[in-house]
Amino acid sequence: MPDIIMHVWDPKTQEETIDLEMPQSRMAIGVLGDSDYADKVLLTPDAVTQLVESGVAVLMERGAGKGIYSDIDYANAGADIMGVTAELLKNVNLVLKLSVLTTEQLQCLKPNTVVMSSVNLAQMSDDDLPIIQQNHLTLIALDLLKDRHGHFVFATILHGDLFGKPAAMALSTCLLPSLTAILSSKNIRYAIQTYPALLQGVYCFQGVVCHHNIAERFQCPWKDILTLCWDWN
């Protein structure tokens, strides 16, 4: 049996910690678990390995694999397993979660963070938009992304008949091209310009609402994402 190296951040355990001082050039992804999709996870350990080998740091919330994959599976794939969600969120450039982030989670994000998740308007609090605007967050709704045939690929998987590892593999396969576009450019505007599939999922760009349903929900003005991405002034 191979040796298992598992990095854990936990204030109760001073002996097992990780160094979060990463070079500015290194991108970091945070992966959160949630109970809304108990039988689904966004990244498989194999996907984590691909990201880590490409130079991306992957920080995962403890238990994010929901029993489909264990923390040890992800640690062996190169992820850092963290027990304090707030610390994870403060140290990543991009956050992955199946359901919308809570207000408390949004408050932990550093400015200009990109969040990729499903969007549920009923779950969004009136307190969320000021946080999003002040921190210039970019929010991408996975369930709004379409394939080249116009199908809502994530929504189909999330609400379809695939469960457990088959669903995880399907979600990872759909997600990795979008992640690659964002991580390789290190500039969300350029990533959206060069990977048009992302356009359909962006509902808030650097703090500006760019989806009419979100604007109606918060009763605020909105701008078209095409205008925002190609306006250099």
Total domain count for the chain? 1
Residue 195 φ then ψ, to 5°: -130, 80
Residue 41 pLDDT = 94
Residue 3 included in any domain: no
Question: What is the mean predicted confidence (pLDDT) over 125-131?
Answer: 91
What distance in Å separates the CA atoms of residue 219 and residue 33, rounded to the nearest whole number?
30
Residue 65 included in any domain: yes
Residue 2 included in any domain: no
Strand partners, 13: 10
- Give the model's confidence band at 141: pLDDT under 50 very low, under 70 low, under 90 confident, else very high: very high
What distance in Å separates the CA atoms of residue 201 and residue 82, rounded to the nearest whole number?
28
The answer on pLDDT for 25 being more than 60 is no
What distance in Å separates the CA atoms of residue 85 and residue 108, rounded to the nearest whole number?
9
- The residue ranking higher by pLDDT, 151 or 174, is 174
Residue 120 included in any domain: yes
Residue 116 included in any domain: yes
Share of the chain above pLDDT 70, in %: 88
- Residue 35 belongs to a domain with what CATH number? 3.40.50.720
Residue 219 included in any domain: yes
Which residues form the domain of 143? 8-230
Residue 1 included in any domain: no
Provide the whole-model pTM. 0.85
Residue 3 pLDDT = 35
